[in-house]
Chains A and B, each alone.
Chain A
């Protein structure tokens, strides 16, 4: 696709449930990032992939959060046992690691609401 695609755009779930959020990056971009954004705040880094491997997962808040990118393209952010505090917009971005200057291209985000 032309840009970064994220699905679903909105997800409402109940406390304790499992959630998966999907990101389809720009074709050919080897770097992929997940961020979380709460109302009135800037995006908060969660995890960064270079290819299939997580190069930096220092932003994941706890072990309920996990992300994969098995084929180096699409990524899934997985949240187990959701809590009300997980409610936020989850943003995905991709970047061309070679030949570019590292600017990030963001998707529109997935808004998660935990009731």
Chain B
């Protein structure tokens, strides 16, 4: 799996958009970008994934650069419940282990 780099922490004001960056400069052509989050004392939760096109679901949007070397997870209207550690992972779909880094701790403040 390709290595990812994320900032260790970020703050965001409640109601504002949270933009979480991830660098994955060694990503291969068949590797997807996945995002998970982990709220304190719970297991990680899948958020969204993408290959090369931007994606949106009910939780978030994923913007992947044209060269696929970086991506941004966007939470459009952050709430206090979005405070969590966010993990960016790259892997081939359905191909074994996902390698987690230490993620970004997002703190949403009132």
Contact = CB atoms under 8 A, between A and B. Distances in A.
- Chain A contact residues: helix, strand, loop or mixed: loop
A102 B91 contact: yes
A49 to B, nearest CB: 10
Contacts, number: 60
Given A42-B101, A44-B100, A106 B94 contact: no
Nearest to A97: B94
Contacts of B99: 45
Interface string B85-110: 10100010111111111110000000
Contact of B96 (A35, A55, A106): A55
Contacts of B54: none
A5 to B, nearest CB: 11
Contact of A42 (B87, B93, B95, B97): B87
B95 to A, nearest CB: 7
B97 A45 contact: yes
A90 to B, nearest CB: 11
- Range, interface on chain B: 20 to 34
A105 B87 contact: no
Given A42-B87, A42-B101, A102 B43 contact: no
A41 B102 CA distance: 5
A58 B94 CA distance: 17
Given A101-B32, A101-B93, A107 B43 contact: yes
A14 interface: no
Contact of B44 (A44, A55, A104): A104
Given A31-B94, A102-B93, A106-B43, 19 more contacts: A35-B100, A41-B102, A42-B100, A42-B101, A43-B100, A45-B100, A48-B96, A48-B97, A91-B44, A98-B94, A101-B49, A101-B94, A102-B32, A102-B95, A103-B34, A103-B46, A104-B46, A106-B45, A107-B43
